Each structure stands twice: as C-alpha cells, then as structure tokens.
Amino acid sequence: MRRFARATCIDELLIKAVNRTTMLDAYRPHLHQQWNEGCHDTAQLHREITVLGFTGDIQSDLTDEDALALKEIRAGCPELDAVTDHVRYFAEMMRDLTGYRLPQWMERVEQDPLPALHSLVNGLRRDQNAVIAGLSSPWSS
C-alpha cells in the first residue's frame, strides 16, 4: 500500500511484486490440484479450503482502513483508477461470457490516455471476431 501511496507516476506502480505472501498461500497446493482435476467452480473451491481452515471471504474483502487507502490511491492517480475500471470490466466480460460487449470496452479504453491498454486493444482488433467468440464461450481457454 505504501508503494502505491508514494508513487508519483504509473510506472512506479507497475513494478512486479515479489515474495509477497497472501492468505491463500497455505491452500495453493490444494487449489492447484483441484483445478488441474477439473474443478473450476470458485464457490466449490472456496467451500473446500474453508473446511481446511481458510477464514477469508469468497470475495477479496478489504478492511475499512485498506478500502479507504485504496480509494485515496485511486483518487490520486487517475491512470490507475482508469486501468482498474477497464480491467474489472474486461474480467466481467470473461466471467459472464459477454463477448458482445468487447467493441464497447475497446472504445472506452481508447478514450483514456493508456498506451499499454491501447496496444492491447490494437492486438484484439486484429482478430476481434475470434476474441468475441472466446469471451462468449464456456469452452474457451
């Protein structure tokens, strides 16, 4: 959190985090095994690790203090705020299998000064029909 709060530009925020521990670390082997055996139901996976002792919610719930800090960080960095919104929207398309929303998403991305996402949009446009199909099918990888 401190790194985000002290950042003066987006490049400082994009540094890869290494050796970061999470509350899921102890359950990763089980999750990987279940996933590799074909269980891709997040609710089921959550129930299983809860039985094993996981105390987190199925959503990544933040403490009130962390939520406030994140809100302040996003308010202080319009680029990060825009990227966050675009990534969440794209993740919703993937989760909800609503690939038909891709053109609208690409237009919104292009309205923001985000060169890295513009590059992604240009790549998606090269095979847009296949991308839409992939975002619409439960059988897509």
For the segment 25-35, what is each residue's pLDDT rounded down to a tens digit? Answer: 888 899 888 88
Q: How many CB atoms lie within 10 A of CB 140?
A: 13
For the segment 75-114, what is each residue's pLDDT rounded down to a tens digit? Answer: 988 998 999 899 989 988 988 899 999 999 999 999 999 9
pTM of the model: 0.59
DSSP string for 88-115? HHHHHHHHHT-GGGHHHHHHHHHTS--H
59 or 24: which carries more pLDDT confidence?
24
Contacts of 34 (CB under 8 A, 6+ apart): 45, 48
CA–CA dist 41, 85 (Å, integer): 25
